[in-house]
Amino acid sequence: MSDKNLRYLIGITMIPGIGSITARKLIAYTGSAEAVFYESKKNLLKIPDIGEKIAAAVANNQVIASADKEIEFIEKNGMRVYSCFDKAFPERLKECDDAPLVLYVRGNADLNAKKILGVVGTRNATQYGKDCTERIIRDLAEHGTAPLIVSGLAFGIDIAAQIKLERDLCAPQRTD
């Protein structure tokens, strides 16, 4: 995917009030992610379920500047981004109507692996919940399964799983 297309896809995800389904609708009606940002407000308002608030948000040029900053962050941190239009995008997610437009990946990940651990939990996790999550990740690793964790990185259970995996399982092993 070209950086130009990525810029506009990320931009769409940053528009308040636009989720995956609405984003796909906008792209389908306008022809591309880039075209969404160049479409007139008058034409945007003709698209079903696109009201005044969303049409005005699309016209906000600040979104593209924010997308550019996001791309800088991605490059600086050695991350990859897969769009729902990429071949590498997970096949199972392509089957979901509300799959995200983009996925951010850090590390080596086969997103079409047979076994993937999805972490879903509360943002207001108790210490007990965090401890249980860390124990599950540790136990999986001890049994030879270094899990690929799919997470929204929300604070709480998601972040507890991610931290445990990165700190204990992905850290370089000491040999002294």
Alpha-carbon gap, residue 12 to 88, rounded angstroms: 20
Report the predicted TM-score, pTM, of the whole model to 2 decimal places.
0.73
Q: Residue 123: which of 103, 146, 151 has the closest Cα?
A: 151
Alpha-carbon torsion, ordered 93, 98, 84, 103, to 10 deg: -80
Q: Residue 21: which of 92, 96, 120, 111 has the closest Cα?
A: 96
- What is the secondary structure of 50-83 as a DSSP string? --HHHHHHHT-THHHHHHHHHHHHHHHTT-EEEE
What is the reported pLDDT for 174?
40
- What is the secondary structure of 120-158 as a DSSP string? ---SS--HHHHHHHHHHHHHHHHTT----EE----TTHH
What is the reported pLDDT for 135?
86
- Spell out the domain ranges in the chain: 3-105, 117-169
pLDDT tens over the chain, length 176 residues: 456 789 999 999 999 889 999 999 999 999 999 999 999 999 999 999 899 999 988 887 788 999 999 999 999 988 889 999 888 898 988 899 899 999 888 777 788 877 777 767 777 888 898 888 888 877 877 776 666 666 665 667 666 766 666 665 554 444 44
Which class is 3-105 in CATH? mainly alpha
